[in-house]
Amino acid sequence: MVRRRLVLLPVTAVAVALVPGTALAEEAAAPGASGIGDPYYPLDGNGGYDVDHYDLALRYDPATDELTATATIEAAATQALSSFNLDLQGLTVSAVTVGDDDATWTRDGGELTITPAEPLEGGQEFTTVVTYSGVPQTLPDVSGFLHTDDGAVVAGQPDGADTWFPANDHPLDPATVSVSATVPEGLEAISNGALTGQSTADGWTTWRWEAAEPMATYLVTLAIGEFDVREYEADGIRYWDALDPDLSTPVDGALSAGEIATASFARQPEIVGWLADWLGEYPFETAGGIVDDDPALAFALETQTRPIYSPLFFTDQLSGDVVVVHELAHQWTGDLVRIAGWQHFWLNEGFATYAEWLWLEREGALTAQQTFDELAALPPESPLWEDLPGDPGPALEDLFSAAVYTRGAMTLHALRTAVGDDVFATIVREWVSSRAGEAVTTADFTAHAEAVSGQELDELFQTWLFTPGKPAGLGAAPGA
């Protein structure tokens, strides 16, 4: 998908050789950049091409944790390329072809540099096949590829996709994905989109998943192990839910995580319908959720069409429902409308957190105003005021900080208070509909909010997103 913002592309020297007697100017082939231009993660993604489709044929053996795979990547060059990079961490590459020819490659850290037999022309479509294997590494914050007692689960935000497949690993280059995962017979393999086939031979079962809509690489998921898979259709959307049966081990006197997750998943059609009233029609053909019984995965991730959830959320029904609301809200804000760089991450998390507040209000627990007021009463020393939602910094504890999530949601509530409920509703709905499938920035959002409301909102956004410390005048006692 060609959605790249040109301003983020590295400046490549374009030599124009005008050969006498030739009308054509030829662009000299040059190496593609090793990063797509993200200020926080300069080596994430790559320059010089756009991926259209990843076809991942994977075999995973839980007995050895070994992955054996072939990634077929269809892309188009955006410049003449003498070589180009894919992101890949760990694993061993055994063969690379570009088009019909063998290519050579080198590895350096997370960069796989591929030199095709012939340079690629600007605009040329090309297919790269990478054959690789090894034990995928789990990232230090326990994300990316996690090995579980009976298989594996994947949750790679912001840039862990490259621990299990070679990728242009940045949301600026979304693509469609097909996953065919071969696992020991008796285990399930779940991924994004629709299950299109399943076959067993020689004690191995291959599960084929097809995601029709382009997605950022961090939104590709895979869960292997024992799962109860439930398939159904609601409101024209096909659901696949996968729950680890171990979650249903009885707990004395309380509901098991499996029972709570089952009940939260049963509300997905209702939640999707409720979110659609706020954000517009559900953007994908398929939906569902995955819960593995592995508390090492301590967070949830909005993997496109099929979020993956830590079992730790399903301790009581309200918190189970709320995390499902959060991850489903991301299907619109984060997945359909994606960020152009990780400094804009509050646009994902602020909206998903605000969806939680609205859900708590709908469930009669707390109004959004009450949630805001409780937070506004937190003292200036609270960690909530430490980071800047609009520029939290690349350290993962800052990217995934209360500032980004909670202060991000407070920013939206402050905007709502400033413009009124009706204008706020229009801002949100038109934001999603006008930017569907696009990469966005904070500046895009603030300009949009000003255009829709007709108000000058500079000071509000400057205070909430870019000014350190607790906003002045907040949290005064009611009536004071």
Binding site for ligand ARG (CB under 6 A): 141, 143, 157, 299-302, 326-327, 349, 396, 400
- How far apart, in Å, do the first and last CA atoms of the chain sit? 53
Q: How far is the CB of 310 from Zn ion (least distance, A)?
A: 12
Provide the 3-class DSSP secondary structure of residue 197. strand
What is the footprint of Zn ion within residues 310-349 (CB under 5 A)? 349
Q: Contact at 8 Å (CB) between 99 and 263?
A: no
Q: Which is nearer to ligand ARG, 34 or 303 (CB)?
A: 303
The option from Zn ion, ligand ARG, none interacting with 299 (CB < 5 to 8 A, set by class) reads: ligand ARG
Question: Cα-Cα-Cα-Cα dihedral of 453, 427, 176, 1, to 10°?
Answer: -10
Q: How far is the CB of 127 from ligand ARG (least distance, A)?
A: 31
State the SS3 of 411-468: HHHHHHHHHCHHHHHHHHHHHHHHHCCCEECHHHHHHHHHHHHCCCCHHHHHHHHHCC
Q: Which residue do the tokens 């690489």 mark?
A: 217
The candidate with the shortest Cα–Cα distance to 278, out of 410, 416, 438, is 416
| CB-closest chain residue to ligand ARG | 143
Q: How far is the CB of 36 from ligand ARG (least distance, A)?
A: 20
The option from ligand ARG, Zn ion, none interacting with 281 (CB < 5 to 8 A, set by class) reads: none
| CB-closest chain residue to Zn ion | 352
The candidate with the shortest Cα–Cα distance to 214, out of 16, 449, 51, is 51
The option from ligand ARG, Zn ion, none interacting with 44 (CB < 5 to 8 A, set by class) reads: none
Q: Which is nearer to ligand ARG, 32 or 289 (CB)?
A: 289
Q: Which residue do the tokens 């979110």 mark?
A: 275
Q: Please list the residues that pair with 339 across neighbouring strands.
A: 440
Q: Contact at 8 Å (CB) between 154 and 146?
A: yes
Question: Cα-Cα-Cα-Cα dihedral of 446, 448, 449, 452, to 10°?
Answer: 160
Which H or E element spans position 108? strand 104-108
Binding Zn ion (rule: CB under 5 A), the pick from 222, 257, 260, 352 is 352
Q: How far is the CB of 299 from Zn ion (least distance, A)?
A: 9
Q: Which residue do the tokens 């006692």 mark?
A: 477
Q: Which is nearer to ligand ARG, 41 or 207 (CB)?
A: 41
The option from Zn ion, ligand ARG, none interacting with 294 (CB < 5 to 8 A, set by class) reads: none
287 binds Zn ion (CB under 5 A): no
Question: Cα-Cα-Cα-Cα dihedral of 380, 384, 387, 391, to 10°?
Answer: -120
CA distance 339 to 170: 10
For strand 290-291 and strand 104-108, is the pairing parallel, antiparallel, or unpaired? unpaired
Tokens of 101: 């020819």
Q: How far is the CB of 329 from ligand ARG (least distance, A)?
A: 10
Q: At what angle do helices 408-419 and 368-376 cross, to 10 degrees?
A: 120
Q: Which is nearer to ligand ARG, 78 or 143 (CB)?
A: 143
Which amino acid is present at 263? A
Q: Which is nearer to ligand ARG, 318 or 423 (CB)?
A: 318
Q: How far is the CB of 448 from ligand ARG (least distance, A)?
A: 22
Q: How far is the CB of 304 from ligand ARG (least distance, A)?
A: 12
Q: How far is the CB of 309 from ligand ARG (least distance, A)?
A: 9
- Number of residues counted as binding Zn ion (CB under 5 A): 2
Q: Which is nearer to Zn ion, 93 or 368 (CB)?
A: 368
Q: How far is the CB of 161 from ligand ARG (least distance, A)?
A: 12
The option from Zn ion, ligand ARG, none interacting with 168 (CB < 5 to 8 A, set by class) reads: none
Q: How far is the CB of 478 from ligand ARG (least distance, A)?
A: 31
Q: Which is nearer to ligand ARG, 143 or 286 (CB)?
A: 143
The option from ligand ARG, Zn ion, none interacting with 81 (CB < 5 to 8 A, set by class) reads: none
The DSSP-derived string for 312-339 is: GGTTSHHHHHHHHHHHHHHTTBTTTBEE
Q: Which is nearer to ligand ARG, 157 or 371 (CB)?
A: 157
For residue 73, give every residue at least 6 positions away whose Cβ sits within 8 Å of its Cβ, in sequence order, or none. 51, 53, 54, 55, 86, 127, 128, 129, 130, 166
The option from ligand ARG, Zn ion, none interacting with 457 (CB < 5 to 8 A, set by class) reads: none
Report, in this order, helix, strand and coil percent for the chain, each rounded to 5.
30, 30, 40
Which H or E element spans position 373? helix 368-376
Q: Which is nearer to ligand ARG, 373 or 386 (CB)?
A: 386
Q: Which is nearer to ligand ARG, 219 or 255 (CB)?
A: 219
The option from ligand ARG, Zn ion, none interacting with 46 (CB < 5 to 8 A, set by class) reads: none
| Residues making contact with Zn ion (CB under 5 A) | 349, 352
